[in-house]
């Protein structure tokens, strides 16, 4: 069998990016992937297809709610679900084939099948054993269900099933007001389903800035999503025409239930390590079942590394990509590094939510003196012109040094705007550096500058 410098297991954003960089740096590289297509969860059943459905359903919302105000008279738009799914599939295919092309271009071998690691330096796929100096585990994650709730991907679905329902359900219960629950909940609400979100905590999107959490929940309620907060889901039972979800309210332990045609379980994900043979190898795991690695992504077994959702840290495609890049550089003898303080998080609801760095709660807990520069999109001309004045940019900066510590945005294009702050933070910028940078008018980006101005002598348009 062929011998490689590096064999990467898993062709998701962590694995395929790592492979491309390894190849670019002169390492003979192969990737083992058992799916029919490359790209992992993100491209096949995650980030990319969900963005297609979010885009399509947002267009429907615009047509229904804002076209008339702009003087656009069209017949009432209808949903052709089969065509919407076909469009989604086309988007997936374009992206997964793109990765295949990049593999060929970079002379990366795709070993088709599911891998096991019988020993350090060896990867088994079917009956074949391949040898490699370095093995990288980039196997990603899978949905984590709840005890007593069985996901069948038809009536009780994970995000995977929710992206391919045979029809738009009349009603949907979403368990978990995290990123997946709110993104897909919004999609089906816009497409006409009655959506109820049941969340264990008292706020949506755990870990986000508290003000952003409140604003997002308010906006989603306005769009028609119903929320049951502080409720622990107990069981999901089949009933005529759908499912009954029983939950217990945490404040008084009372039980209640809600029925829906389809139930989406969006209560988090867990590392996908099935079949790798990690037990027999003696690979150390963390208490939460992630592969334990050192600062250079090395496991406790020499020559075996791990990145992405399979290890500690936020389960985000771009975090995995950055780890893939860094590890490739390390394997090639360079000094790969990821700045974990500057990893943005984006929720692709409408409006989008984006954040980077510390939240106010985290700064308070750390006893750090900080100032807040906040600017509402109501003061941004471009946002008002496109019915997107609701929302704000908040920049947190060190009281003494003015160094930017974090930013939290809810509003138009938040997922793009956040990167201006990421770059600034990567360069150790002060809020004043952003405030003194000329921003084109009229753009949403001006709201970021205004928030930076608000950290100093004050914004102009507020
Ligand atoms: P999550 O961890 O973001 O949210 C899960 C939610 O479920 C939490 O709010 C939790 O309190 C709640 N929950 C847990 N048990 C419950 C129960 N028994 N009853 C009611 N509520 C309960 O997980 P999610 O949304 O499933 O996403 C999984 C991973 O995928 C996350 O790490 C997320 O960051 C990532 N992801 C990121 C996206 C993005 O960056 N735009 C999009 C989709 C997923």
Q: Are strands 304-306 and 171-175 parallel, antiparallel or unpaired?
A: unpaired
Cis-peptide, bond into residue 20, ω within 30° of zero: no
pLDDT of residue 294: 98
For residue 342, pLDDT beyond 70 = yes
Is 324 strand, coil or helix? Answer: helix
Q: Whose CA is nearest to atom 24 of ligand 1?
A: 268
Name the token pair of 406: 């974090």
What radius of gyration do the chain's Cα atoms show? 23
Q: Which domains does the chain have, with CATH numbers?
A: 2-143+270-338 (3.50.50.60), 156-267 (3.50.50.60), 342-454 (3.30.390.30)
Q: Whose CA is nearest to atom 5 of ligand 1?
A: 267
Give the chain's mean pLDDT.
Answer: 97
| CB of 199 shorter than 6 A to ligand 1 | yes
pLDDT of residue 145: 86
| CB of 201 shorter than 6 A to ligand 1 | yes
CA–centroid distance, residue 264 to ligand 1 (Å): 11
Q: At what angle do helices 47-65 and 81-105 cross, to 10 degrees?
A: 140
| CB of 177 shorter than 6 A to ligand 1 | yes
| CB of 175 shorter than 6 A to ligand 1 | yes
356-408 tens-digit pLDDT:
999 999 999 999 999 999 999 999 999 999 999 999 999 999 999 999 999 99
94-108 tens-digit pLDDT:
999 999 999 999 999
What angle is formed at CA 208 by the lines to CA 316 and CA 382, rounded to 5 degrees?
90
CA–centroid distance, residue 378 to ligand 1 (Å): 30
Phi, psi at 429, each rounded to 5°: -70, 155
pLDDT of residue 2: 67
CA–centroid distance, residue 188 to ligand 1 (Å): 17
274-319 tens-digit pLDDT:
999 999 999 999 999 999 999 999 999 999 999 999 999 999 999 9
Index of the ligand 1 atom closest to the CA of residue 234: 18
Q: What is the DSSP string of 248-259?
A: EETTT--EEEEE
* C-alpha to C-alpha distance for 256 and 139, rounded to whole angstroms: 38
* Mutational pocket test of ligand 1: of 51, 180, 255, the residue with most ligand atoms within 8 Å of the beta carbon: 180
Is 326 strand, coil or helix? Answer: helix
| CB of 17 shorter than 6 A to ligand 1 | no
pLDDT of residue 256: 98
CA–centroid distance, residue 177 to ligand 1 (Å): 7
Residue range 70-81: average pLDDT?
97
Active site residue 441: yes
* Mutational pocket test of ligand 1: of 45, 177, 267, 350, the residue with most ligand atoms within 8 Å of the beta carbon: 267
Residue 148 confidence class, pLDDT cut points 50, 70, 90? confident
Residue range 426-438: average pLDDT?
98
* C-alpha to C-alpha distance for 349 and 410, rounded to whole angstroms: 10
Q: Which of 408, 404, 416 is nearest to 211 (CA)?
A: 408
């Amino acid at each position: 069998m062929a011998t490689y410098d590096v064999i990467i297991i898993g062709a998701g954003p962590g694995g395929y990016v790592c492979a491309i960089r390894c190849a670019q740096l002169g390492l003979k590289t192969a990737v083992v992937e058992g799916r029919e297509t490359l790209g992992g969860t993100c491209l096949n059943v995650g980030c990319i297809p969900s963005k297609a459905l979010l885009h399509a359903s947002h267009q429907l919302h615009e047509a229904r709610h804002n076209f008339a105000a702009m003087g656009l008279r069209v017949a009432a738009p209808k949903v052709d679900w089969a065509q919407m799914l076909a469009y989604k599939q086309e988007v997936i295919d374009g992206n997964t084939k793109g990765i295949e092309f990049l593999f060929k271009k970079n002379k990366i071998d795709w070993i088709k099948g599911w891998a096991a690691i019988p020993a350090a330096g060896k990867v088994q796929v079917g009956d074949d054993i391949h040898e490699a100096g370095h093995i990288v585990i980039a196997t990603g994650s899978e949905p984590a269900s709840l005890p007593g709730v069985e996901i069948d991907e038809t009536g009780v679905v994970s995000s995977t099933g929710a992206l391919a329902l045979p029809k738009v359900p009349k009603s949907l219960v979403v368990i978990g007001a995290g990123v997946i629950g709110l993104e897909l909940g919004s999609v089906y609400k816009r497409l006409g389903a009655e959506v109820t979100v049941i969340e264990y905590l008292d706020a949506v999107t755990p870990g986000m800035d508290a003000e952003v959490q409140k604003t997002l929940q308010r906006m989603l309620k306005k769009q028609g999503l119903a929320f049951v907060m502080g409720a622990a889901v107990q069981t999901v039972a089949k009933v005529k025409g759908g499912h009954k979800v029983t939950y217990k309210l945490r404040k008084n332990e009372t039980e209640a239930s809600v029925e829906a045609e389809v139930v989406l379980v969006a209560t988090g994900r867990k590392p996908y390590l099935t079949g790798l043979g990690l037990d027999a190898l003696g690979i150390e795991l963390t208490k939460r079942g992630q592969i334990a690695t050192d600062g250079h992504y090395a496991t406790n077994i020499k020559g075996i590394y791990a990145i992405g959702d399979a290890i500690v840290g936020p389960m985000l495609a771009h975090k995995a990509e950055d780890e893939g890049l860094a590890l490739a550089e390390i394997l090639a003898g360079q000094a790969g590094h990821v700045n974990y303080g500057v990893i943005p998080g984006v929720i692709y609801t409408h409006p989008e939510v984006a954040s980077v760095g510390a939240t106010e709660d985290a700064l308070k807990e750390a006893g750090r003196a900080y100032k807040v520069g906040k600017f509402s999109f109501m003061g941004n001309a471009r946002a008002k012109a496109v019915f997107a004045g609701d929302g704000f940019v908040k920049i947190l900066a060190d009281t003494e040094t003015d160094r930017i510590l974090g930013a939290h945005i809810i509003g138009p294009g938040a997922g793009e705007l956040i990167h201006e702050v990421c770059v600034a933070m990567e360069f150790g910028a002060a809020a004043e550096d952003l405030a003194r940078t000329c921003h084109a008018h009229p753009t949403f980006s001006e709201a970021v500058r205004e928030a930076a101005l608000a950290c100093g002598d004050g914004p102009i348009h507020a």
